[in-house]
């Protein structure tokens, strides 16, 4: 090891490579031992490489399971937590918990017990909350779509605000349970009636299933506002991540409806709004920052669209959309529309790549505004209600929010923008997670509540 370190330092001085590269190559270059008593298999779960060791001998009962994390003082890790993230150790712990859940799910899937997706969903939705002294909470169905309604118990002198909430989770995960605490907080603190929508998930239910469920539930609610004591002039749609995408799509559809009350506002929390360019500055800068990697963002979009991640590499490199179509939308999806202050952490422009007909046929619906709301025509954008957009500096989806903010403002739509300079994707959900809470998450949520109270 000493010899390796010395060799590494010499090569670093010569400008060939740094010493850490040599150390990693030396350590990682050791081939795995062959063991006559073990089955050894390499897997990758959520971009994290794993090596599984299973005894070959038949078990006499259920075996123990051990998750082992190697040392290396953090130097040899694969995730990248920027120095601007406050309390980075907490983020690393949350990421490890999520990875452990995914790993166990993969193991169970390999044993034929259940799918990884179903296990992760089960683990995410296990937390149950008791009755809330300030809220009436009830599960209902709106046009065959499950919803959970939160109504303040305190009497109100007038009709209340209404909030349609669409949860995040990459269209694959998330549920009424995963966002229960968040919806309770919004209902209590803003004194609003909140309707959380349990839309169908991918990959079992492909696009446009989630959008259709959210639209159906929204229409039903808007048609029966008086039953819930909601003011028809004060209804907002709200969602985080994939839910922000759904909120934007539903808002665009309802903007042209004269038979329903007009939405008062849309609240988009780090929304994903396009799938044409996964190489915008925020995707490059935050590609390895938890809790959403660049590859995962494209993976989830493909799962929602097609129920599989076929053509993932083409989508990531940008060869999934023909150059002429990219040029058509370049006025809306372009790094040129991102303020220069958001490029200082690094950005390398990408050239337009050719696209085969086969690849484009697989993903051509990426050009539909119901899937990618950033691509809606100006005539639709001009009709949208007052908007609140929350973005996080260390989030691959940051630039989607910035681009939509510009489109709204260019078309005369009032926008309240709140940017968490120390925030990362998913931070709002950890606003009340005990010792794993982040002050920035609570700060962002307080601004959302304040916006609602101003309506």
| Placement of tokens 């330092």 in the chain | 9
- Residue 134, number of CB atoms within 10 A of its CB: 13
CA distances from 110 to 45, 67, 225 (A): 12, 16, 48
d(CA 316, CA 202): 20
CA distances from 343 to 89, 329, 389, 403, 421 (A): 26, 21, 20, 14, 14
Q: Which of 240, 395, 399, 400 is catalytic?
A: 395
Q: Which of 175, 190, 241, 319 is catalytic?
A: 241
Q: Which of 196, 320, 425, 430 is catalytic?
A: 425
Active site residue 190: no
Q: What are phi and psi of 444, to 5 degrees?
A: -65, -40
Active site residue 395: yes
Burial of 410 (0-12, 13-18, 19+ CB in 10 A): middle
The set of residues, in sequence order, having a beta carbon less than 8 Å from that of 158 and lying 6+ positions away, is 231
Q: Report whether 243 contacts 171 (CB < 8 A).
A: no
Q: Report whether 303 contacts 171 (CB < 8 A).
A: yes
| Placement of tokens 């998913």 in the chain | 426
d(CA 287, CA 284): 5
- Residue 309, number of CB atoms within 10 A of its CB: 17
Q: Report whether 292 contacts 335 (CB < 8 A).
A: no
Where in the sequence numbering do the catalytic residues fall?
241, 395, 425
């Amino acid at each position: 090891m000493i010899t390796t370190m010395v060799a590494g330092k010499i090569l670093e001085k010569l400008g060939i490579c740094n010493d850490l590269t040599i150390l990693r190559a030396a350590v990682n270059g050791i081939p795995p031992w062959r063991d006559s008593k073990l089955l050894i298999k390499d897997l990758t779960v959520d971009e994290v490489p794993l090596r599984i060791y299973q005894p070959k001998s038949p078990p006499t009962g259920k075996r123990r399971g051990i998750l082992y994390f190697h040392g290396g003082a953090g130097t040899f890790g694969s995730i990248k937590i920027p120095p601007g993230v406050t309390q980075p150790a907490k983020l690393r712990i949350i990421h490890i918990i999520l990875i452990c859940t995914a790993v166990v799910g993969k193991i169970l899937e390999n044993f034929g017990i259940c799918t990884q997706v179903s296990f992760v969903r089960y683990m995410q939705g296990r937390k149950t909350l008791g009755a809330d002294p300030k809220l009436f909470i009830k599960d209902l169905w709106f046009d065959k779509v499950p919803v959970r309604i939160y109504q303040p118990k305190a009497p109100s002198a007038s009709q209340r605000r209404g909030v349609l909430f669409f949860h995040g989770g990459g269209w694959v995960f998330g549920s009424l349970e995963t966002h229960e605490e968040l919806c309770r907080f919004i209902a209590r603190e803003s004194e609003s009636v909140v309707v959380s929508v349990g839309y169908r998930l991918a990959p079992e239910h492909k696009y446009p299933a989630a959008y259709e469920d959210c639209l159906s539930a929204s229409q039903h609610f808007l048609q029966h506002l008086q039953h819930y004591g909601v003011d028809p002039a004060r209804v907002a749609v709200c969602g985080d991540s994939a839910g922000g995408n759904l909120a934007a799509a539903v808002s665009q559809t309802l903007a042209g409806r004269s038979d329903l009350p007009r939405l008062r506002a849309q609240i988009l929390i780090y929304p994903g709004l396009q799938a044409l360019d996964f190489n915008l500055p925020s995707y490059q800068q935050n590609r390895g920052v938890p809790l959403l990697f660049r590859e995962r963002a494209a993976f989830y979009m493909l799962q929602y669209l097609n129920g599989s991640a076929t053509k993932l590499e083409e989508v990531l490199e940008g060869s999934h959309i023909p150059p002429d179509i990219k040029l058509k939308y370049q006025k809306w999806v372009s790094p040129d529309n991102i303020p220069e202050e958001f490029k200082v952490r690094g950005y390398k422009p990408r050239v337009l790549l050719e696209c085969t007909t086969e690849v484009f046929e697989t993903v051509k619906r990426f050009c539909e505004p119901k899937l990618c709301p950033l691509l809606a025509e100006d005539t639709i954008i001009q009709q949208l209600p007052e908007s609140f957009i929350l973005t996080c500096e260390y989030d691959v989806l940051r630039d989607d929010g910035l681009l939509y903010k510009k489109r709204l403002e260019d078309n005369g739509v009032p926008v309240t923008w709140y940017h968490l300079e120390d925030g990362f994707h998913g931070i709002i959900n950890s606003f009340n997670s005990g010792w794993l809470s982040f002050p920035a998450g609570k700060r962002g949520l307080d601004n959302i509540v304040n916006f609602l109270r101003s309506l």
